[in-house]
């Protein structure tokens, strides 16, 4: 039934990490079935195989950068598209089995990215503690709950799930750090533009980077399409050949985005369309209007003008 | 009746100048009625008023440059379009009423542009002759025939018409000098592309010249449209505001030209379409093929691809 | 003696035209010797040969466009540079030997450019008069004074000189029309920038017009150099090869202009430097300041930074 | 003593990983003291503090992409520069305590990136084995040697060190995968260009990505500087603000690179110079010559020309 929200969700597990917390911000997911996957490839494979309707996976972290495995999965295998983005503030807590003064915390379990994001806090408050790498934020919480370490750096969602006590909250060095997640589904007809949309693309270009990248940016710029993000990834073939992941302002159903996409299709070795979807803003901001001369009405007007030229009705 | 060649031709007179010679290279004009006009505005007015079907006027001279009055007329008044171009080698002769040794030629009648184009020849062969300005090449021939001057610089067509004798031919300093003429008619449906066409435009841009002109050229460049000519003309309003006359390679009926025209229409203060017509080549040259990725087939392909994206059939 | 103003001036004659009027706006010329030349080439030749110190010739007309012969002379022969520009409002008057009601004026002598610039006025006020082409504005006044015609279109300066009476003034269709003149001298050391200067260049480019012209404009744009004028002229060799005459904002002694000039020198077939000189403004306007990051101080700062990089003092 | 190679090397440990193997390809390091560091920040800190002369850390992996922590460390703290790059083929082996048929391997220890890079091989040859994540390639080898797992995915260097037996070699899915390492030192005077050099930069730009990135690329393109790599990294402040890491072809001591760097310095919020060093090629390739008009000699020529303009010696 069209319009029915997906019912079977898969997400990057294990349970108790930021991805689960992000998924639960979506009302439809809160009502649906939610299954953790061992890895991003496994999550996407479930959607590709039809075993799940949608997968939520991390896309980008304001501190750690793009999540390479997600980008790589998006440009290989059968196409998937982003239909939603979820931006979630990253808040780490230091948690333990029982209330403990900080000066008695001697060992801390932490995923390497978590300890990297809390490095200054750890140096200031736990200068003598030994930080031990573990394989996920959830694993850190579980290990602390099992008594293997005095404390864990973990996500707030890991605290009640493992019956931990918070020793300190907001311990991340960057107060504004966020993670951006993508909800991926099998392709379907384009949704309606909302006026504040993002279109994600992966374009592969060859050889002469300056010239080729200038050409890509010029195709966008001429149609007034702006970028909110650009990431380069090697294609896996050799150093020096890249996919560029572009987040463009606008929607595939809009005229200027359509013309820009056609231009990229003509000049790039490959263009993968990764979806048009509403921008998720943590704070209310007015969407940027079309640049002068580049609205759908302007395109319709220029098309009608050309038709008159061609028919001789000057 | 569609396809019938124009029957009533007007051209920049007087009789016996290069423009008449250019007109007579067109078989249809050779069969039609040919009337000289006193000026370019008068010639174009005859077409606009329906008193003539087509006007032949000079557009550009490889030595003297653009003909300002023609350009100005093309951007004012009701629209006219170029349907043919005629490129004619400029050959000046020194002619007189009767055979005369060069060292006995003491006065030469010449239009100022003619004497400018033969300056070196005159310095070398008639260093002591007085060159007297007259108002046209035809007037020079007539005055020499009337005995007012010992000789005239004129077009070959002026010799038999005034029963003159050629004292020296090919006296122009630039052997390759040519004049380019335009055959102008009232607008009609676009003709078929020949694969070696020119599209002429006048675009007006404002203020910041570097930025605005860069934007115009980028609209063309992104669609692989090349320029064979660019001329700037003040708009007549003030120094610093310009019309640019552009001769672009390609035809209005081609996809990439159509998209480029639409782009110009959206960013320029004004775009005047001045016609798409076959390039006139004096020597056989292979037309330049579409740049890679920019043929009509490539545009059709990218349009089909976009339609698939929008429908979700990735 | 350095700083001494030129004493011997030559200008495009005959006496009584706009060029003489323009020259007389320069106090130094008012005190010097002023000699008319028969043509622009003759005027420039006088300076090149050392027979005059400076030549004033028309460069550009807001209605009629560039003066081709001046541009052509500037790119051939030994170098001359513009040291001053003079912008003069173009005011035509209708003058006659004696007071005459307009409805009794049956013949008007006029240079073709003059009658073109007054066409609407003539149609409205002298619809039945015959306009006869003559070879200069001065010749028109002289012919009217001699009684050959009922009236003349001429410059105000021609009235007292020929003891004419003004029948109507400000008869030009464009009230704001101006002519721009250049004072040319043999090259010398660059003058000091005034903060509101023009640098004139002629650059020749080859073949692919869009790409080559984009490259020229990009060299300027990257250094924040703006254009106040661009004119293209065929090189005289063949249609399709051009000199572009550029008036750039800024002075050769400024860092960003220096870097832009070097860039053009490296990519163009030829760059002719035609002088840096103060802009002549008819109305007081604030000069445009350097774009952010592109002042001489900014260039000095970036040069010092590079020196630190190269020496390892990061 | 100038020219003396660094004697005290630190590298990203633990011992027995690819970074140690890369370091040992440098003869000077083979002769010097080599100390493993627990993390990239710790390695760089040792150089900054003067406890080591140089640090070798991974920069980029042709499969996994940039190493975020290295990039982040390069743009924070006191400046370090790259003086050498080492490109090392990535070869994984499957190793065990004793010779074992593959169908008897039931558990495999592997760093998550190693198992990702060998995913297809594992699916094809060990479809039923359980792959267990461990924290480094060296840890995998150690755990297999200790009998905790039947086998390990590890670097060849880990085999003799842990007295393992190779069950299968070249098990990575991408036969051409390489890792690129950087040797970092405290800044010093620029070395001599070799004619085939890389200059690494980190530039931060603001806001409008398309426009700002176009401006950066144009500064490079105008001076004929090409890119062999571009990576974007969020600045850690907020999504949407980026550092771009650029590997440019050329050397800071060359004129065109110097001018391009100055241009970037003027337009970017920040430019960090990360070193000019010889490109390390695995196969012999001819270096790309300077583009026409952009050699040091061309810059010297254009500079001399400008000096002549300014002095009036045209």
Write out pLDDT tens, residues C6-64.
689 999 988 888 899 999 999 999 999 999 998 888 999 999 999 999 999 998 876 55
For the domain made up of D189-314, the CATH class stated in words is alpha beta
Distance CA B182, CA B40 (A): 11
Closest CA to C133 of C146, C152, C120, C147: C152
Residue D68 confidence (pLDDT):
72
Contacts of B208 (CB under 8 A, 6+ apart): C226
Secondary structure of C129-146 as H, E, C letters: CEEEECCCHHHHHHHHHC
Answer yes or no: same fold for B93-168 and B189-282: no
Residues of D in contact with C314 (CB under 8 A): 79, 81, 187, 273
DSSP string over B242-289? EEEEEEEES-TTSHHHHHHHHHHHHHSSEEEEEEEEE---SS--PPPP
Q: Do D62 and A234 touch (CB under 8 A)?
A: yes
Nearest CA among A66, A2, A5 for reference residue A32: A5
Centre a 10 Å sphere on the Cβ of residue D297 and count the other Cβ atoms it contains.
10
Strands annotated E in chain D: 8-12, 33-37, 54-61, 65-66, 81-89, 93-96, 107-110, 130-133, 151-154, 165-168, 178-185, 197-205, 227-234, 242-249, 270-278
Q: Please tell me the predicted confidence (pLDDT) of residue B238.
A: 56
Residue length of chain B: 314
Q: Which of A147-151, B307-311, D280-284 has the highest mean pLDDT?
A: A147-151
Residue among C239, C242, C283, C294 with most chain B CBs within 10 A, to mutate: C239
**Do B253 and A189 lie within an 8 Å CB cutoff?**
no
Mean pLDDT across chain A: 88
Tokens of B261: 């025209």
pLDDT tens digit sequence for A88-132: 988 899 999 999 999 999 999 998 778 878 988 999 999 999 999
Contact present, B106 and B128 (Cβ < 8 Å):
yes
Render pLDDT for C110-141 as a digit per residue (tens, 0 to 9).
987 788 789 889 999 999 999 998 888 889 99
- Asked if B229 and C225 come within 8 Å (Cβ–Cβ), the reply is no
Question: Would the pLDDT of C239 be above 60?
Answer: no
CB contact under 8 Å between C312 and D222, yes or no, is no
Chain D residue at shortest CA distance from C216: D222
* Residues of chain C contacting B41 with CB distance shorter than 8 Å: 119
- Please tell me the distance from the alpha carbon of residue A162 to that of residue A15, in angstroms, as a whole number: 11
> Which run of H or E residues covers position A85?
strand A81-89
**How would residue A1 be classed by pLDDT, with cut points 50, 70 and 90?**
very low
Q: Among the ranges B93-97, C194-198, D18-22, D153-157, which has the highest mean pLDDT value?
A: B93-97
Confidence of residue A216 (pLDDT cuts 50, 70, 90): very high
Going A4 to A5 to A7 to A8, the CA torsion angle's sign is: positive
Q: How confident is the model at residue A236 (pLDDT cuts 50, 70, 90)?
A: low
Share of chain B above pLDDT 90, in %: 54
Q: Name the minimum distance, in Å, from the CA of A164 to any CA of chain D.
A: 25
Mutation target vs B (from C130, C209, C291; most B CBs, 10 A cutoff): C209
Question: Architecture of domain A195-314 in CATH?
Answer: 2-Layer Sandwich (3.30)
For residues C159 and C114, is the Cβ–Cβ distance under 8 A?
no
pLDDT at site B124: 94
CA A302 from chain center: how many Å?
Answer: 36
Q: Nearest CB to B209: which of C176, C227, C237?
A: C227
Mean pLDDT by 10 residues, chain D (314 residues): 72 87 93 91 94 93 69 88 93 95 95 84 93 87 96 93 95 83 93 92 77 89 86 65 86 94 92 94 73 86 90 84
Chains C and A touch (3+ CB pairs under 8 A): no
Pick one of 3.30.70.260, 3.40.50.970, 3.30.70.100, 3.75.10.10 as the CATH number of B189-282: 3.30.70.260
- For A7-90+178-188, give the CATH class: alpha beta
Q: Concatenate the DSSP letters of all residues of A159-195 into one string.
A: HHHTT-EEEES---S-TT-EEEEEEEE---SPPPP-S
* Structure-block tokens of residue A210: 């300056």
pLDDT at position C108 is 97
Identify which has the larger pLDDT, B284 or D193.
Answer: D193
Break chain B into its structural domains and give their ranges. 1-89+179-187, 93-168, 189-282
- pTM, two decimals, is 0.83
- Which H helix or E strand runs over D310? helix D296-311
- Residues, chain C, total? 314
Q: For residues A146, A147, A148 and A154, what is the CA-based torsion angle, rounded to 10 degrees? A: 70
**CA dist A238 → A242, D280, D282 (Å):** 9, 14, 12
Q: What pLDDT does C109 receive?
A: 96
Nearest CA-CA distance, residue D236 and chain C, Å: 23
| In the predicted structure, residue C1 carries a pLDDT above the cut 50 | no
Separation CA B183–CA B201 (nearest Å): 15
Tokens linked to B196: 């070696």
The pLDDT of residue B117: 82
**Tell me, what's the pLDDT at C39?**
83
Question: Looking at residue B269, what is its pLDDT?
Answer: 87
Question: What topology does CATH give the domain C8-89+178-188?
Answer: D-Maltodextrin-Binding Protein; domain 2 (3.40.190)
User: Strand locations in chain B, DSSP E?
Assistant: 8-12, 33-37, 54-61, 65-66, 81-89, 93-96, 107-110, 130-133, 151-154, 165-168, 178-185, 197-205, 227-234, 242-249, 270-278
Per-residue confidence band for C235, with pLDDT thresholds at 50, 70 and 90: low
Residue C274 is inside which H or E element, if any?
A: strand C270-278
Q: What is the pLDDT of residue A288?
A: 66
CATH class of B1-89+179-187: alpha beta
- Most trustworthy range by pLDDT among C67-76, C207-216, D166-175: D166-175
Average pLDDT, chain C: 88
> With bands split at pLDDT 50, 70 and 90, how would you rate the model's confidence at B54?
very high
Question: What class is the C189-286+294-301 domain?
Answer: alpha beta
What is the per-residue pLDDT across B133-181, written as a single tens digit (0 to 9) for each?
A: 888 888 999 999 999 999 999 999 899 999 999 999 999 887 777 889 9
Q: What share of chain C is helix, strand, coil (3-state, %, to 5)?
A: 30, 30, 40
Question: How confident is the model over B198-225, as a mean pLDDT?
Answer: 86
User: C-alpha angle D8/D13/D18, rounded to 5°?
Assistant: 100
* pLDDT, position A211: 80
Query: Looking at domain C93-168, which CATH architecture does it have?
Result: 3-Layer(aba) Sandwich (3.40)
**D293 and C259: CB-CB below 8 Å?**
no
Shortest Cα distance, chain A CAs vs residue D209, angstroms: 5
Q: What is the pLDDT of residue A238?
A: 56
Nearest CB neighbour to B273, from listed A190, A252, A314: A314
CB contact under 8 Å between C230 and B238, yes or no, is: no
- Check pLDDT > 50 for residue C90: yes
Pairwise CA distance, residues C133 & C124, whole Å: 19
The residue to which tokens 């990057």 are assigned: A12
Contacts of A211 in chain D (CB under 8 A): 221, 226
């Amino acid at each position: 039934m069209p319009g029915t929200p997906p019912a079977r969700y898969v997400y990057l597990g294990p349970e108790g990490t930021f991805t689960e917390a992000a998924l639960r911000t979506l009302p439809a997911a809160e009502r649906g079935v939610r299954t953790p996957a061992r890895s991003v490839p496994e999550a996407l494979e479930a959607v590709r195989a039809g075993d799940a309707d949608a997968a939520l996976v991390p896309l980008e972290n304001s501190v750690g950068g793009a999540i390479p495995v997600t980008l790589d999965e998006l440009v290989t295998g059968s196409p998937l598209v982003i239909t939603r983005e979820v931006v979630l503030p990253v808040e780490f807590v230091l948690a333990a089995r029982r209330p403990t003064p900080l000066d008695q915390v001697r060992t801390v379990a932490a995923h390497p990215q978590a300890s990297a994001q809390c490095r200054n806090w750890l140096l200031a408050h736990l200068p003598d503690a030994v930080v031990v790498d573990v394989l996920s934020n959830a694993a850190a919480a579980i290990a602390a709950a099992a008594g293997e370490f005095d404390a864990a750096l973990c996500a707030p969602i890991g605290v009640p799930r493992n019956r931990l006590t918070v020793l300190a909250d907001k311990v991340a060095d960057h107060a504004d750090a966020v993670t951006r997640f993508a909800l991926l589904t099998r392709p379907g007809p384009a949704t309606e533009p909302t006026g504040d949309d993002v279109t994600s693309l992966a374009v592969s270009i060859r050889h002469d980077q300056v010239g080729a990248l200038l050409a890509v940016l010029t195709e966008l710029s001429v149609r007034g399409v702006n970028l909110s993000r650009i990431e380069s990834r090697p294609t896996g073939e050799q150093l020096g050949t890249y996919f560029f992941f572009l987040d463009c302002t606008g929607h595939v159903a809009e005229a200027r985005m359509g013309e820009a996409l056609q231009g990229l299709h003509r000049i790039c070795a490959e263009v993968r369309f990764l979806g048009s979807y509403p921008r998720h803003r943590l704070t209310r901001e007015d969407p940027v209007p079309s640049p002068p001369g580049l609205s759908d009405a302007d395109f319709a007007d220029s098309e009608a003008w050309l038709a008159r030229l061609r028919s001789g009705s000057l």
